[in-house]
Amino acid sequence: MSIEVDYRFPPGVDAERQAKVIAVGQTAGTWDARFAHHEEKLRSHLAEVVGGRTDPDGYSLATISFPETNVENDISSLLTMIFGKYSMAGAAKVVAVRLPEHYGSYPKLGITGIRERLAVVDRPLIMAIFKPALGLSAEDHAAILKEVAYAGLDIIKDDEIMGDLEVAPTLKRLEACRQIIDEVKQQTGRTVLYAVNVTGTADKLIEKAHLLVREGANALLLNVLTYGFSVLSALATDEKINVPIFAHPALAGAMCASPDYGIAYSVVLGTLMAHGGADAVLYPAHYGNLPFDPAEEIRIRDSLRSRNVFPVPSAGIHPGVVPKALFDYGQDVILNAGTGIMDHPDSPAAGVKAFFEALERVKQGESFELETLPKSALRRAVEKWGVK
């Protein structure tokens, strides 16, 4: 089996030459007569340039086929092979990676499993973020959760910046919020997921995840790119961690934003996350408040869904975005809002209600023009944030 990778080179770079450098230098390397008796075995580890073209803007694309036997069925060894040392060699960007279906890990739950746990099968899921991000006590978190959970929220997550800090230690946040989750379940029959941010040094993080799950965590949040794909894989394949893992894209811009260097967002947040074991992946929506290429967003969506992973467009999502988001995503999407819920002019609960009113209005084919909206949480949201 082989792994195909597309590299894009800017004008002025000899793409054919550089592709050959990658094919050799990122695999077996060169050898002399001393290793002639190993010729056949060494050649079996060499990559091969299998395609190339130049676009009208002068950018060149080279496709290299790598032997799967060179890697360890994980994302870390894959990245080392396809772009490790060469990433420091000059202008080049990995724009696509095509992996065998069996490569890496599948999500534990993914789209179908998360829906089963929430008992929600026929609509997008609504997710919120605790705000402010830092400075709240565990009791503050619980009070916020109580308000939005009773308003119908499906999922809430820690902000990715929130670690195991003295102001609200992770176990205390979980304990306080778990009481609310249990109360909501008893009172309404509904399950609410709380994605707790799992952090720590390499020797303690997995142990901490075990502890959180034992203490009742029903979802985890992981900053995959700062802690590493190997951590994601360890969580995803650990039988003791029987809860969904929500992957955050923190640091992705440092890897992906340059047009001529690094790795495309669709590879990092789509292909690699989908094969790394995430159950749901957060990433910017192009109609949010971060600059993002709509074509890259669609590629991420499709890569994730191909392996039953929930797409979670984020960063600037508010009720006025719902028509556009549903047009782009249909039902299998998690709409993730921080300020779009927590900063609703009436209350966070009203922010949740505005999203559900927006979902119903799209379902009924009704207009979002302000003059057509009745007095409601949705109207107040549209007055503040508008419609995309």
- pLDDT interval class at 284 (50, 70, 90): very high
Position 359 scores a pLDDT of: 98
Residue closest to 315 by CA, chosen among 129, 110, 125: 129
| Across 180-205, average pLDDT | 97
Tens digit of pLDDT for each residue in 71-84? 999 999 999 999 99
Position 383 scores a pLDDT of: 98
| Across 302-313, average pLDDT | 98
Position 42 scores a pLDDT of: 84
Residue closest to 194 by CA, chosen among 217, 164, 162: 217
Position 312 scores a pLDDT of: 98
Position 313 scores a pLDDT of: 97
| Across 240-252, average pLDDT | 98
Any residues with CB less than 8 A from the CB of 320 and at least 6 apart, and which?
Answer: 358, 368, 381, 382, 385, 386, 387, 388
- pLDDT interval class at 118 (50, 70, 90): very high
Kindly tell me if the per-residue pLDDT of 365 is higher than 90. yes
Position 40 scores a pLDDT of: 84
Position 30 scores a pLDDT of: 80
0.75 surpassed by pTM: yes
- The two tokens of residue 187 are 């009172």
Position 149 scores a pLDDT of: 98
> Range with the lowest mean pLDDT among 21-25, 29-33, 38-42, 255-259?
29-33
Kindly tell me if the per-residue pLDDT of 137 is higher than 90. yes
∠ Cα 123 334 206 (to 5°): 130
| Across 368-382, average pLDDT | 97
Position 361 scores a pLDDT of: 98
Instruction: Report the C-alpha gap between 209 and 219 in whole angstroms.
Output: 10
Kindly tell me if the per-residue pLDDT of 291 is higher than 90. no
* Domains of the chain: residue spans and CATH: 2-98 (3.30.70.150), 110-385 (3.20.20.110)
Position 226 scores a pLDDT of: 98
What is the share, in percent, of the chain residues with pLDDT greater than 70? 100
Tens digit of pLDDT for each residue in 85-99? 999 999 999 999 999
| Across 9-29, average pLDDT | 94
∠ Cα 234 197 222 (to 5°): 40
**DSSP category for residue 45:** T
- pLDDT interval class at 35 (50, 70, 90): confident
- pLDDT interval class at 28 (50, 70, 90): confident
Kindly tell me if the per-residue pLDDT of 31 is higher than 80. no
| Across 310-336, average pLDDT | 97
- pLDDT interval class at 384 (50, 70, 90): very high
Q: Which of 85, 185, 204, 363 is catalytic?
A: 85
Can 172 be counted among the known catalytic residues? no
Instruction: Report the C-alpha gap between 232 and 247 in whole angstroms.
Output: 8
Contact 222, 231 (CB under 8 A): yes
| Across 92-121, average pLDDT | 97
Contact 286, 294 (CB under 8 A): yes
Looking at every residue in the chain, the average pLDDT score rounds to: 96
Give the H/E segment covering residue 13: none
